[in-house]
């Protein structure tokens, strides 16, 4: 079971990579200067795709267009503006907006021109010029120009989400429209510039004219989406219940070679449900047609309904090569009772993954141990000599266990709900930390304060995981409670850091960039919704800078493993679980390429609709 929230769906962005053979001669390093001019950029090494490639390797370039795919959304929504802190944005509401550059699902660190057909930058990447495609247009038919790019940068800098503002203000010196189809970004001195061209190239582009004409307030919640240039536009909404997006027949980039085999569905529909179980019942009844199953119990026991038995609904397990999501119970380090690492370690010992996996999850999961789980970036064993290059200069400010012990693993338990050995070890840690068990069985400090822990939860499906954890904590003497709230309350309390512990994700990447500052940097500890833990460490800040300054893949890998080792030693999470395959179910009218890319399932991007299969299902009464 994975915890799936609206926030993660809202941040889902379709891959929209594009290039015209017409621009092929603009690629490669110019002979007469040190300026690099290219159709894309890679953090390390060469781009996989040359300028004149016909399509991505993992798509079916002849995939038919048509049909509808439908998925589910959690809870509700009251906004179609995903870049404001106000309101709860609808699923996929970033779908309207394109970027100068986009990545691929088969490379970890490359980005190719979409709205920009080429880019120019010096070897030190201290600045970058993007050359925009003159044919690029917004969905209302107006041209997309360099002025729109600058406007978008400025409005995100001044009024965007705090996470956007922080990075932009610290790392970008200026943005300037050199002419109507040429825009220049200059980066600040003394900041790592390796990833900055991709960062600014990945900012969403809004229509300046739309905001001038409507007077819309960018910071306000709105059910009217701003004008974008993407392949889909809004078809209809039923507030809090349903959203339908339709493929824009006049999409400016529909014929570009890099869009071959992509954006295949005529419509994408999202149906909202109050909780996970009701959403599953909706799938069984045919209310929507594609489901990425996150509940191991439902996967193991729930798919025996008639549509499965008749072969109308297909269960599928394609491989998943992506990083684990970093799903975990997250401590709020802003709370006084969690500042002692012994308290955090003791609490972590009371979550019994082995019992949960056997009893609740039917054995389909593996334990997360690393922030880079399911990858070659996971730190293992004692630190290598290459890792010590980064760790030794910080020796005085790092936990000594980073050097003396193997990389921290999540606690292991027996297959009984309450592991008595871990209970004894945890009790000793809390005793040493000054939390003593009283006559009533509750632990208190010298001030008489109880060791209280409230676990917030907005998913009914997670009750069966949290309740046994709370029972174990109570056996330890912790005043632990499980509080169920709705998703709107969860959003509000997350934004205000008003919690002791909740379930969240630490999303990393194979090519770590400035996003590390959002999740783990000291400057983000008190404002970023991504740094839910409030983690702050000068040593971690230094290691992040080492990662950002890495000049080659080997250096980056070693710096990342050193950082992973530190984060795990700090114990501000209780890691949960992951699996190495997707568990999906869908009405058997969808198709996908024979060889999926390693880093994305791509359902809404490069799957397609089989009209013959649809008609067959319909004739049988399946739909």
Q: What is the 3-state secondary structure (H, E, C) of 67-111?
A: CEEEEEEECCCCECCCCCCCCCECCCCCCCCCCCEEECCCCCCEE
- Within 10 Å of residue 581's Cβ, how many Cβ atoms? 12
Burial 492-520 (b: 16+ CB within 10 A, else e): ebbeebebbbbbbbbbbbbbbbbbbbbbb
Residues 6+ apart with CB under 8 A from 556: 44, 511, 512, 547, 550
pLDDT band at 21 (very low <50, low <70, confident <90, very high): very low
CA distance 290 to 296: 17
Give the pLDDT confidence score for residue 294 in this predicted structure: 87
CA distance 88 to 76: 8
Q: Find, among 529, 510, 511, 509, the residue nearest to 519 by Cα.
A: 529
Q: Distance from CA of residue 202 to its chain's centroid? A: 15
CA distance 31 to 574: 53
- Total length of the chain: 623
User: Cα angle at 493 between 487 and 494, to 5 degrees?
Assistant: 85
Mean pLDDT of 338-366: 96
Give the pLDDT confidence score for residue 33 in this predicted structure: 54
CA distance 474 to 441: 8
What rounded mean pLDDT belongs to the chain?
91
CA distance 344 to 333: 10
User: Cα angle at 264 between 508 and 235, to 5 degrees?
Assistant: 90
pLDDT band at 217 (very low <50, low <70, confident <90, very high): very high
Domain at 1-17+56-93+230-321+580-623, CATH from 3.40.50.300, 3.60.10.10, 3.40.630.10, 3.40.190.10: 3.40.190.10
Bridge partners, 102 (sequence order): 112
Read off the tokens for 262: 């992509």
CA distance 29 to 349: 55
Q: What is the pLDDT of residues 98-138, one digit of tens each?
A: 999 999 999 988 999 999 999 999 999 999 999 999 999 99
Q: What is the pairing mode between strands 68-74 and 267-273?
A: parallel
Give the pLDDT confidence score for residue 18 in this predicted structure: 34
Q: Per-domain residue ranges for the chain?
A: 1-17+56-93+230-321+580-623, 34-42+97-228, 328-577
pLDDT band at 621 (very low <50, low <70, confident <90, very high): very high
Token look-up 């910071």 returns 219
Q: Find, among 151, 139, 188, 143, the residue nearest to 167 by Cα.
A: 188
pLDDT band at 1 (very low <50, low <70, confident <90, very high): low
Mean pLDDT of 564-571: 98
Residues 6+ apart with CB under 8 A from 598: 105, 106, 319, 321, 322
| Residue 618: CA count within 13 A, CB half-sphere | 7
Among 148-162, 347-361, 406-420, 518-532, the range scoring the smallest mean pLDDT is: 518-532
Give the pLDDT confidence score for residue 195 in this predicted structure: 87
- 254-258's contacts with Cβ under 8 Å and 24+ in sequence apart are 256/18, 256/19, 256/20, 257/18, 257/19, 257/20, 257/21, 257/53, 257/54, 257/55, 258/17, 258/18, 258/19, 258/53, 258/55, 258/56, 258/112, 258/114
Instruction: Please give the full DSSP string across 481-499, using - where no structure is assigned.
Output: EEEE--HHHHHHHHHTT--
Read off the tokens for 363: 């054995």
Give the pLDDT confidence score for residue 168 in this predicted structure: 86
Q: Distance from CA of residue 346 to its chain's centroid? A: 29
Q: Which CATH superfamily does the domain covering 328-577 fall into?
A: Dipeptide-binding Protein; Domain 3 (3.10.105.10)
Cα dihedral 188, 510, 410, 334 in deg (nearest 10): 20
DSSP 247: E
| Residues 574, 410 contacting (CB under 8 angstroms) | yes
CA distance 349 to 413: 8
| pTM for this model (two decimals) | 0.77
CA distance 96 to 14: 10
CA distance 367 to 575: 7
H/E stretch holding 151 = helix 146-159
| Residue 1: CA count within 13 A, CB half-sphere | 26
CA distance 543 to 402: 13
Q: What is the pLDDT of residues 480-492, one digit of tens each?
A: 999 999 988 998 9
Three-class secondary structure of residue 389 per DSSP: helix
CA distance 68 to 574: 39
Give the pLDDT confidence score for residue 119 in this predicted structure: 97
H/E stretch holding 480 = strand 479-484
CA distance 471 to 14: 42
CA distance 369 to 389: 23
Question: Using CA of residue 76, residue 77, residue 83, residue 86, what is the dihedral sign?
Answer: negative
DSSP 524: G
H/E stretch holding 235 = strand 232-238
Read off the tokens for 345: 């370690």
pLDDT band at 357 (very low <50, low <70, confident <90, very high): very high
Bridge partners, 79 (sequence order): 89
pLDDT band at 3 (very low <50, low <70, confident <90, very high): very low
1-17+56-93+230-321+580-623 and 328-577, same CATH topology: no
Is the predicted pLDDT of residue 70 greater than 70, yes or no?
yes
CA distance 134 to 380: 50
Mean pLDDT of 315-322: 92
Among 328-332, 504-508, 514-518, 552-556, the range scoring the smallest mean pLDDT is: 514-518
Q: Which CATH superfamily does the domain covering 34-42+97-228 fall into?
A: Periplasmic binding protein-like II (3.40.190.10)
Bridge partners, 38 (sequence order): 119
Three-class secondary structure of residue 479 per DSSP: strand
Q: What is the pLDDT of residues 446-476, one digit of tens each?
A: 999 999 999 999 988 899 999 999 999 999 9
Is the predicted pLDDT of residue 19 greater than 60, yes or no?
no
């Amino acid at each position: 079971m994975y915890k799936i929230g609206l926030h993660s769906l809202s941040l889902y962005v379709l891959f929209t990579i594009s290039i015209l053979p017409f621009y092929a001669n603009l690629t490669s390093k110019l002979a007469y200067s040190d300026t690099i001019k290219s159709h894309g950029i890679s953090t390390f090494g060469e781009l996989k795709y040359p300028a004149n490639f016909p399509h991505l390797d993992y798509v079916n370039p002849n995939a038919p267009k048509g049909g509808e795919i439908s998925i589910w959304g959690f809870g509700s929504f009251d906004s179609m503006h995903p870049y404001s802190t106000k309101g709860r944005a609808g699923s996929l509401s970033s779908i309207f907006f394109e970027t100068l550059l986009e990545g691929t699902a088969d490379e970890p660190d490359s980005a190719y021109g979409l709205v920009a057909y080429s880019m120019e930058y010096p070897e030190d990447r201290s600045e970058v010029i993007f050359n925009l495609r003159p044919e690029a247009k917004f969905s209302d038919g107006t041209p997309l120009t360099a002025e729109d790019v600058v406007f978008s940068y400025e409005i995100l800098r001044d009024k965007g989400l705090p996470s956007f503002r922080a990075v932009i203000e610290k790392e970008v010196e200026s943005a300037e429209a050199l002419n109507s189809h040429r825009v220049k970004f200059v980066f600040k001195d003394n900041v790592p510039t390796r990833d900055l061209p991709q960062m600014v190239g990945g900012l969403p582009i809004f229509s300046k004219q739309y905001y001038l004409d409507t007077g819309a307030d960018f910071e306000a919640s709105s059910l009217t989406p701003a004008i974008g240039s993407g392949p889909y536009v809004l078809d209809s909404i039923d507030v809090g219940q349903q959203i339908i997006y339709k493929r824009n027949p006049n999409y400016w980039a529909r014929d570009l070679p890099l869009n071959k085999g992509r954006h295949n569905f005529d419509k994408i529909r999202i149906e909202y449900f109050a909780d996970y179980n009701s959403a599953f019942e909706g799938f069984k009844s045919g209310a929507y047609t594609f489901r990425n199953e996150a509940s191991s119990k439902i996967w193991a026991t729930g798919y025996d309904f008639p549509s499965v038995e008749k072969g109308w609904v297909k269960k599928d397990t394609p491989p998943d090569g992506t990083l684990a999501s970093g799903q975990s119970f997250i401590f709020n380090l802003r709370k006084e009772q969690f500042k002692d690492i012994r308290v955090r370690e003791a609490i972590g010992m009371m979550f019994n993954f082995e019992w949960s996996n056997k009893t609740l999850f039917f054995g389909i999961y593996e334990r997360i141990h690393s922030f880079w789980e399911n990858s070659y970036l996971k730190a293992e064993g004692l630190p290598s000599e290459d890792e010590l290059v980064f760790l030794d200069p910080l020796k005085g400010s790092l936990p000594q266990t980073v050097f003396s012990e193997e990389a921290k693993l999540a606690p292991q338990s027996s297959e009984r709900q309450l592991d008595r050995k871990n209970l004894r070890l945890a009790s000793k840690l809390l005793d040493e930390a000054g939390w003593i068990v009283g006559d009533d069985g509750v632990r208190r400090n010298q001030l008489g304060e109880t060791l209280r822990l409230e676990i917030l939860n907005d998913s009914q499906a997670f009750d069966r995981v949290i309740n046994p954890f709370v029972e174990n904590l109570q056996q330890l003497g912790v005043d632990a409670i499980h509080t169920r709230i709705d998703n709107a309350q969860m959003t509000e309390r997350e934004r205000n850091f008003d919690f002791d512990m909740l379930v969240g994700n630490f999303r990393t990447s194979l090519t770590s960039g400035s996003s590390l500052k959002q999740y783990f940097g000291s400057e983000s500890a008190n404002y970023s919704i991504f740094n839910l833990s409030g983690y702050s460490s000068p040593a971690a800040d230094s290691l992040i800078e080492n990662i950002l300054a890495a000049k080659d893949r080997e250096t980056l890998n070693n710096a990342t493993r050193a950082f992973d080792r530190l984060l795990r030693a700090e114990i501000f999470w209780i890691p949960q679980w992951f699996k190495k395959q997707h568990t999906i179910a869908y009405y058997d009218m969808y198709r996908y390429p024979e060889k999926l890319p390693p880093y994305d399932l791509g359902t809404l991007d490069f799957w397609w609709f089989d009209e013959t299969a649809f008609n067959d299902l319909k004739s049988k009464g399946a739909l």
